[in-house]
Amino acid sequence: DTAVSQTPKYLVTQMGNDKSIKCEQNLGHDTMYWYKQDSKKFLKIMFSYNNKELIINETVPNRFSPKSPDKAHLNLHINSLELGDSAVYFCASSLNIGGYTFGSGTRLTVV
Amino acid sequence: AQRVTQPEKLLSVFKGAPVELKCNYSYSGSPELFWYVQYSRQRLQLLLRHISRESIKGFTADLNKGETSFHLKKPFAQEEDSAMYYCALRGTGGGNKLTFGTGTQLKVEL
């Protein structure tokens, strides 16, 4: 039933590790996004894909690599995790125009 | 460049009091404005968008192009309104990118 689902919900890992977060939407939306919410609750876009094509890539370190195998999935892979990567990562989707539907977030803690 | 400003980090009101959460934007074209709400440790949910001109949970917001504002209002605050509120802007280009303000934490006290 869930419209935009992310896994895992919580992720605790050590510095230097590589991890992935998965996102899937069943709304038939064309565009998917990754946003980062930091400890001050600021929300900043990281990436946007439209029909598997990267259309927005904000100034994100290249340790972050999104992958979209099809338009219903947008995964986020992070290499060599750093303490500053600790945040809540939200996936979202939308039609080409319109408001977003957000996932429930993945709380990443790097120790 | 598109920018959204929410000047208040925290707004505390008593139950039954009126609420106004401020939002100002900067954009050279015709933007679309949204309000999103995030209850404690939950996902962001769309509350309002200016083109639909509807009232959700008693909240309304009017786009004022002269003042470049999209303030969120409710005449009588309820305890369950306590949440984080984000104003967001989508410009006419840039792949449907939503730019969010820094958010205002609304606390409704009894």
Total domains in chain A come to 1
Cβ-nearest to B97 among A56, A98, A102: A56
Q: Has residue A95 got a pLDDT over 90?
A: no
Q: Are A48 and A55 a contacting pair, CB within 8 Å?
A: yes
CA distance A12 to chain B (A): 17
DSSP for residue A59: S
How would residue A53 be classed by pLDDT, with cut points 50, 70 and 90? confident
Which amino acid is it at B92?
T
How far is B102 from chain A, CA to nearest CA, in Å? 5
Q: Which of chain A's residues have a Cβ under 8 Å away from the Cβ of B44?
A: 43, 90, 92, 100, 102
| Domain interval for residue A68 | 4-110
The per-residue pLDDT for A1 is 65
Structure tokens at A63: 């340790």
Per the document, the length of chain A is: 111
Residue of A nearest to B34 (CA): A99
- pLDDT value at position A21? 97
> What's residue B45's pLDDT?
92
User: What mean pLDDT is predicted for residues B61-84?
Assistant: 94
Question: Residues B74, B19: contact at Cβ < 8 Å?
Answer: yes
CB pair distance less than 8 Å for A100 and B46: yes
User: Which CATH code is given to the segment(s) B3-109?
Assistant: 2.60.40.10
- The answer to whether B43 contacts A104, with C-beta atoms less than 8 Å apart, is yes
What's the maximum distance between 2 C-alpha atoms anywhere in chain B? Answer: 44
Task: Report how far residue B13's alpha carbon sits from residue B39's, in angstroms, rounded to the nearest whole number.
Answer: 17
- What single letter denotes the amino acid at residue A73? H
* pLDDT tier, B106 (very low <50, low <70, confident <90, very high otherwise): very high
Which of A9, A31, A43 is the mutation pick for testing B, counting most B CBs within 10 A?
Answer: A43
Nearest Cα of chain A lies from the Cα of B33 at a distance, in angstroms, of 10
Which of A14, A12, A35 lies closest to A23, judged by CA? A35
Question: Which residue ranges make up each domain of chain B?
Answer: 3-109
CATH number at residue A96: 2.60.40.10
Residue B25 DSSP label: E
